[in-house]
Amino acid sequence: MDTDLSPAGIIQIGVGFWGPKILLSAVELEVFTELAKGPLDAESLRKRLRLHPRSARDFFDALVALRMLEKKDGLYSNTHETDFFLDRAKPTYIGGFLEMANARLYGFWGSLTEGLRSGQPQNESKAGGEFFPVLYRDPVRLKQFLQAMTGISMGAAKAIAKKFPWGQHRTFIDVGCAQGCVPVQVALAHPHMSGGGFDLPVVGPIFEEYVASFRLDSRLRFHPGDFFKDPMPKANVLAMGRILHDWDLEEKKTLLAKAYAALPKAGALIIYESLIDDERRHNVFGLLMSLNMLIETKGGFDFTGADCTAWMREVGFRETYVEHLDGPDSMAVGIK
């Protein structure tokens, strides 16, 4: 071999699923929930979690090396982040998302090659099953899942509250609002704003509980409905986050057109997602998320800011722009 090229980068990505799977198993085994009660040595933690002695210490030390745990004088403890986000006893728990990734996505992604060849989703639907209807029937799991969505959306929500020109508007409704993370952040930052969220009826009580915990129930209301079957609620500003990417191009345009129809003149629509950069080469997360839509949906895909603003103009918006929010997330804004 007459070169100094190294395969290290290739190998590192090729077995790069090891670390993620270790974190997902740690959430499943409630490592962080146990350690939130206090630091433990390896043997005590192993017994609490009922692990076999063979690999427990490797497992804990791998979590230290991945910076998901700390280790000091032989005692393991959570990091600030894992204590806050992965302790099941805290309302800030986002493990619901990772539990779902562990129980479903990790395995379904094993069929990525088949998905790329067939263009067909590789989730429960392959066997005639469905995920969301099952989730919607279990209020405890649904709440945990919607809490996780809140945790994941918090960065984008705070950035939307800060960066969008709210001074020009009075009412705001988030379409597909889940627990209401974005409306709550907007209402907290802008006392003149009112509005709420639109989602399937089953989400209502969970939205209302969350909003009430911020004493915002006088300004934020839940609007039950189905965004394909029902008209969208009216407000100065509408938003949709991680909604459009679930649907095919025609469905995306239908949703954009329905939002346009519900807005007053000079009203605005905010689409917030992990928008792919227009060159389609930098926002890794957005591109991978689009392949996750292959695994999870019939025709969904992620898109660039340029894609989104072009569709917005097609359905009637007269002015559009794209602005970065937080991490991989950006917003595409259309003005009617």
Please list every residue from 114 through 173 that binds its own copies, using CB under 8 A: 115-120, 151-152, 154-155
Give the whole-angstrom CA distance, residue 250 versus residue 248: 6
The stretch near its own copies (CB under 8 A) out of 80-88, 203-211, 235-243, 254-262 is 80-88
Task: Give which of 240, 200, 234, 193 is closest to 216, Cα–Cα.
Answer: 193
Q: What is the DSSP string of 147-209?
A: HHHHHHHHHHHHHHHHHS-GGG-SEEEEET-TTTHHHHHHHHH-TT-EEEEEE-GGGHHHHHH
Q: Tell me which of 192, 223, 245, 324 is the catalytic residue.
A: 245
First and final CA of the chain: distance in angstroms?
A: 62
Q: Give long-range contacts, CB 8 A cutoff, 24+ apart: 135-138.
A: 136/200, 136/202
Q: Which of 48, 66, 135, 141 binds its own copies (CB under 8 A)?
A: 66
List the interface residues with its own copies, window 214-243 (CB under 8 A): none
Q: CB-wise, 129 or 264, nearer to its own copies?
A: 129
Smallest distance, its own copies to C-beta of residue 24, A: 6
List the interface residues with its own copies, window 291-330 (CB under 8 A): 291-292, 294, 299, 301-302, 327
Q: CB-wise, 266 or 284, nearer to its own copies?
A: 284
Q: Which of 257, 287, 306, 322 binds its own copies (CB under 8 A)?
A: 287
Q: Which of 35, 98, 175, 211 binds its own copies (CB under 8 A)?
A: 98
Q: Which of 77, 171, 254, 290 binds its own copies (CB under 8 A)?
A: 290
Is residue 303 within 8 A of residue 245, CB to CB? The reply is yes
Q: CB-wise, 71 or 141, nearer to its own copies?
A: 71
Pairing between strand 329-335 and 268-273?
A: antiparallel
Give the whole-angstrom CA distance, residue 319 versus residue 311: 12
Contact between 212 and its own copies by CB under 8 A: the answer reads no
Smallest distance, its own copies to C-beta of residue 336, A: 31
Phi, psi at 246, each rounded to 5°: -75, -15
Examine the residue annotation and report whether 80 is marked as an active-site residue of this protein.
Answer: no
Would you tell me the crossing angle of helices 181-189 and 204-213 to the nearest 10 degrees? Answer: 30
Q: Which of 105, 243, 255, 259 binds its own copies (CB under 8 A)?
A: 105
The stretch near its own copies (CB under 8 A) out of 107-115, 192-200, 202-210, 254-262 is 107-115
| Active-site annotation, residues | 245
